Chain A
């Protein structure tokens, strides 16, 4: 057990806190776009941590995770926009969104309980696509989702009269919308991280790990693997649902194309590349994989100009090429992820200790 009150860790916590507070203002100097990217990084931290419960803790490969993000986003969009004329308050929609995602998590989970590995991946992939296609087509005969046009004019997060959208004055400081959202997201992220850490080191967390390690042995010691797996799907999905709700409010607009397969794969890449099952690693993975493509977006053109004097390769293709290459290199040289848990890095870097007696 770490001693959180030791002077050393107190200093560390204080430094991190100051960095987190100052960050949006520093990043904001490069333009509000960067603050938005920062906010997306935190949203992806939510998603990656949620998926980490399913993939990292319980060992169930889920390729359709973004469906729960979509469910959360559309729940918010439908309950707080002119589309149906509903304008629920935030304290009602966030839990409803989490609950909806949770229900969908169980819906997806129940038919897949007997599947593992590749087979599970295929089924979940199908589920993710089904949700997206439903969102795309549920505009007739009754217009529920407004189809491919998506839903616009979604309410921002509002607490009382205070809106997180638009610029306002707080304690004499001018704060832009993205900066305000940033603080909200950081607060939520801390909560999500604490919940995840606690879950991991709980009776339930151990049961998830046991199922990942050996399902038959887990059954034999009395773990109801069906319920515990469903719980993993439900918990993971709820985090996705919350992230989706905030996404909806932050953007003010949702459409099905935000929830394509590549998004699921990105979140999975964050979990795997960061360090499956290791919370700090997953956070790192999410932040890096959000920023890397964006940094490349801005860097690719000037670098080409400097090197060749003209643009040889289309920036967008080159960006994805470099990004893909980075993924391949990390997986080749750090197969357990960039920041794996101590046990897992031992597992993959060393040969198992053979003790022959």
Chain B
């Protein structure tokens, strides 16, 4: 088993004349928290979308866990073990928190139409297991008391947590979080840090896009910086923080 979980090879993507990604190559190791930072419009979310199959890259590609990722097949990416959250939270608003997480189990379960119609033993057992796992995950992200509330009625911080629980329900090898701390206050950000630490400790690799520099530097094992769609540097936080190009492009003097 290779040490590298995800390898991006010269990924390029442009929208009309705008080069959103210019041959970005980076590698994420198993078990680490990997930070991806950069100014607004640097191409971080585009990178995410290419990786999870929502966009088709114009050049290059990804190798995940030894398998070449097929472009434009988001459900395949989830099957292989890439789960993500969204910058602007995308929950199933009119479903309960519990149901949201239960949907996350879809890709790891298989009951079909006939199972549902005849409600045979296997289907009932699977359904019970789905529910139990979903409840466990709600406890894991600490929102079990909101299980029966509609997702859209949860507070902002709880919605972020629910989205993480739903992503974890797919049993990912790589969990990609797109600005999870956006709009959170200091306490919530700290709670989020603890949660991500926990996820890493439980064996899931985390890719983190984040603007909160303190959070990224404190949490990540390695950090990559994007600017104008190009990779500036990929290294441990201590080195990245001192790099003059990064300071100029992003961190400021």
Contacts and interface: CB of A to CB of B under 8 A. Distances in A.
Contacts of B169: 221
Contacts of A220: 52, 54, 74, 78, 83-84, 86, 90
Given A206-B106, A223-B75, 20 more contacts: A198-B116, A202-B111, A204-B111, A206-B102, A210-B95, A210-B103, A213-B92, A213-B94, A213-B95, A216-B74, A218-B103, A219-B53, A221-B106, A221-B169, A222-B74, A222-B78, A223-B107, A343-B94, A347-B94, A356-B156
A223 B115 CA distance: 18
B185 interface: yes
A217 B86 contact: yes
Contact of A357 (B91, B111, B157): B157
16 contacts: A202-B111, A202-B116, A204-B116, A206-B106, A210-B95, A213-B92, A214-B90, A220-B54, A220-B83, A221-B107, A222-B106, A223-B107, A346-B150, A352-B152, A355-B154, A357-B157
A187 interface: no
Interface residues on B, range: 35 or more
Interface in B100-128: 102-107, 109, 111-113, 115-117, 119, 123, 126-127
Contacts, number: 118
A257 B222 CA distance: 69
A209 to B, nearest CB: 6
Given A210-B103, A214-B90, A203 B111 contact: yes
Contacts of B197: none
B95 A216 contact: no
B167 A221 contact: yes
Nearest to B149: A353
Nearest to B89: A217
Contacts of B166: 221
Nearest to A219: B74
B92 A357 contact: no
A357 B116 contact: no
Q: Is the interface of A mostly helix, strand, loop or mixed?
A: helix
A224 B106 CA distance: 10
A221 B117 contact: no
B95 A209 contact: yes
B132 interface: no
B40 interface: no
B79 A222 contact: yes
A231 interface: yes
Contacts of A214: 90-93
A209 B75 contact: no
B116 A203 contact: yes
Interface string A182-200: 0000000000000100110
Contact of B90 (A217, A343, A346): A217
A225 interface: yes
Contacts of B119: 198
A210 B78 contact: no
Interface in B175-216: 185, 188
A63 to B, nearest CB: 23
B54 A223 contact: no
B79 to A, nearest CB: 6
Nearest to B101: A221
Interface in B137-175: 150, 152-157, 166-167, 169-170
A195 B112 CA distance: 13
Nearest to B102: A206
